[in-house]
Amino acid sequence: MGIGDPYFPWLGNPGYDAQHYTIDLTIDVPSNTITGSLTMTALTIDGLTSIDFDYNGPSVSAVTVNSAAASFWRDSGKLIVTPPAPLPKNQPFTVVVTYAGSPGLLPDPTSDDAPGWIHSGDTIVAVGAPNGLSAWVPVNEHPADKATYSFLLTVPQPYRVIANGTLESTTPHGDETTYDWEMRQPMASYLVAMDIGDFVWQTGTSAGGIPIRNYFASSVAQPAEALFSKQGEMVDYFSTLFGAYPFDAYGSIVVPVPLGFTMETQGMTTFDAGVVANARPNDPSSGEGQIAHELAHQWFGNSVSLTTWRDIWLNEGFATYASWLWIGHSGGDSVFQAIVQRTDDSLNGAALRQQGASEDAIRQHLLSFTRTGDPGEDRLFDWDGVYLRGALTLHALRLTVGDAVFFDILRAYQQKFRYGNATTADFIAVAEQVSGKSLRDFFQHWLYDPIVPELPQG
């Protein structure tokens, strides 16, 4: 049984609300094996006779519920635990799962990329949406059930471990070291990151006082340091637009493994080395633009998270628009306006007309876009329909309500749903309340109609 997501009905588990996960693992990097436990504290929503986890990882040897041994079995990506006695409604409980073995990758239902646990030589990268965490941790794997996390990760020296949150301690014992990372703000499971390898660590503080820490693969550390040097400025700039930065620190990790994607892992974005090799100036999809996009997810997607995956534009459209804002802030308004015009030309067929395409070809192009507000599982990360049209929707809203009201809407949305979850309907309600305008028809046209509307005259 899943939590009820319209795109991924098998993900997540109803009946309980996870509060905190402690991931306590010893990781042998050369042999790619893990040994340890997951402890989940949670509250029952309903009375429970079983507790279901999403789990596709190594072999489980024991499970306890409230310190008492519990029976368990596995079926189709689920770990099903039967407590010794039914758990009453609205009560706290604790589950400890002990397990060991070699994690791996999982099929990604949204693309050809494979989330999960990647072992490559002396590097391990554990990351991926929508279901990468269950490759190595039993979890309620849906963003609707966010929790705080502790990572107690023990590795052989000289390996170093990076995870979400702040590094509280490193404890050497013999030829191993235990790293204690703490994520104190609620986090959706797909935003968990864990990386082991040879990284150059860099720390600093933004002018606004936000700690910045980066972890660069040693092979690209020098060019990465230059490329990521403006992160502190970005954090402070976005804080003025969207509200206070929502986590204890920010930074990025650049891994030497070719991931094929970038992931806005909470408090510390995960990039592969392609971000350095492919950086282009004034391009929202690379270099500084890509860095700004992933940073903006800390507000849109991480602090305020999806209630269902159907509303992915609330993540990707918002982050894409934020990257345009940063490039405009950094390069000037003419650069920003050029991005808007180029995007609008692409989505409304003007670029094809300039190339001499037939009207039939143009119409087919206009009808080909996914519905931004309901793209479907197979087009969840559609660049044109979700990212670009989502961003253009926000610009159209800005032109409709005016600059001051637009940014008031973004800040009010952030404040109302900070550390929680929201839907498209929630955003529309905030936009209407702050602007004092009826915007239902506006959002219907921009998010759900097949042909992209014309931009309002601002």
**315-326 residue pLDDT tens:** 999 999 999 999
Q: Give the residues across from 105 on adjacent strands.
A: 116
User: What's the structural domain count of the chain?
Assistant: 2
Q: Are residues 187 and 313 in the same domain?
A: no
The domain boundary, picked from 180, 195, 210, lies at 195
Give the pLDDT band of residue 387 (cuts 50, 70, 90): very high
Place of tokens 């189709």: 76
Of 444, 317, 442, 325, give the one whose Cα is nearest residue 391: 317
User: Which pLDDT value is given to residue 360?
Assistant: 84
Please determine, for residue 419, whether its predicted confidence score (pLDDT) is greater than 90. yes
User: Which pLDDT value is given to residue 259?
Assistant: 86
Of 306, 299, 352, 348, give the one whose Cα is nearest residue 321: 299
Distance, in Å, from the CA atom of 224 to the CA atom of 233, rounded to the nearest integer, reads 16
Q: Are residues 313 and 191 in the same domain?
A: no
Q: Are residues 16 and 157 in the same domain?
A: yes
Residue 434 lies in a domain: yes
Please determine, for residue 399, whether its predicted confidence score (pLDDT) is greater than 90. yes
Across 75-90, average pLDDT: 96
Give the pLDDT band of residue 163 (cuts 50, 70, 90): very high
Residue 33 lies in a domain: yes
Three-class SS of residue 356? coil
Q: Which structural domain, as residue segments, surrounds residue 60?
A: 1-102+132-195
Q: What angle do CA 207, 208, 211 make, to 5 degrees?
A: 85
User: Which pLDDT value is given to residue 357?
Assistant: 81
Q: Give the residues across from 35 on adjacent strands.
A: 26, 100
Distance, in Å, from the CA atom of 65 to the CA atom of 97, rounded to the nearest integer, reads 9
Q: 179-188, 343-352, 391-400, 443-452 — which is least confidently predicted?
A: 343-352
Of 273, 291, 294, give the one whose Cα is nearest residue 283: 291
β-bridge pairing 51-54 and 176-187: unpaired
Residues found in the chain: 458
Q: Are residues 189 and 312 in the same domain?
A: no
Give the pLDDT band of residue 3 (cuts 50, 70, 90): confident
Distance, in Å, from the CA atom of 70 to the CA atom of 86, rounded to the nearest integer, reads 11
Distance, in Å, from the CA atom of 36 to the CA atom of 433, rounded to the nearest integer, reads 49
CATH code at 53? Answer: 2.60.40.1730
Place of tokens 């993540």: 315
Instruction: Return the half-sphere exposure (C-beta side, CA atoms, 13 A cut-off) of residue 105.
Output: 13
- Residue 184 tokens read as 């104190």
Looking at per-residue confidence, does 31 or 363 come out higher?
Answer: 31
Give the pLDDT band of residue 276 (cuts 50, 70, 90): confident
**278-335 residue pLDDT tens:** 888 878 877 899 999 999 999 999 999 999 999 999 999 999 999 999 999 999 999 9
Instruction: Return the half-sphere exposure (C-beta side, CA atoms, 13 A cut-off) of residue 440.
Output: 1
Q: Give the amino acid at 362.
A: I
User: Which pLDDT value is given to residue 457?
Assistant: 84
Q: Are 44 and 89 spatial neighbours (Cβ–Cβ below 8 Å)?
A: yes
The domain boundary, picked from 172, 195, 218, lies at 195
Residue 109 lies in a domain: no
Cα 418 to Cα 20, 204, 265, 299, 315, distances in angstroms: 18, 26, 17, 8, 14
Residue 226 lies in a domain: no
The domain boundary, picked from 143, 166, 195, lies at 195
CATH code at 364? Answer: 1.10.390.10
Task: Please name the helix (run of DSSP H) or strand (run of DSSP E) that holds residue 294, with its range, or none.
Answer: helix 287-296
Arithmetic mean of pLDDT over the chain: 93
**331-354 residue pLDDT tens:** 999 999 999 999 999 888 877 788
Distance, in Å, from the CA atom of 255 to the CA atom of 117, rounded to the nearest integer, reads 13
Please determine, for residue 128, whether its predicted confidence score (pLDDT) is greater than 80. no
Residue 158 buriedness (CB in 10 A; 0-12 / 13-18 / 19+): exposed
Residue 179 lies in a domain: yes
Residue 258 lies in a domain: no
Beta-carbon neighbour count of residue 375 at 10 Å?
25
Distance, in Å, from the CA atom of 212 to the CA atom of 220, rounded to the nearest integer, reads 19
Give the pLDDT band of residue 107 (cuts 50, 70, 90): low
Across 448-456, average pLDDT: 91
**164-203 residue pLDDT tens:** 999 999 999 999 999 999 999 999 999 999 999 999 999 9
**245-263 residue pLDDT tens:** 999 999 999 999 888 889 9
User: Which pLDDT value is given to residue 112?
Assistant: 47
Residue 248 lies in a domain: no
Beta-carbon neighbour count of residue 88 at 10 Å?
11
User: Which pLDDT value is given to residue 353?
Assistant: 83
Residue 331 lies in a domain: yes
- Residue 239 tokens read as 């804080």
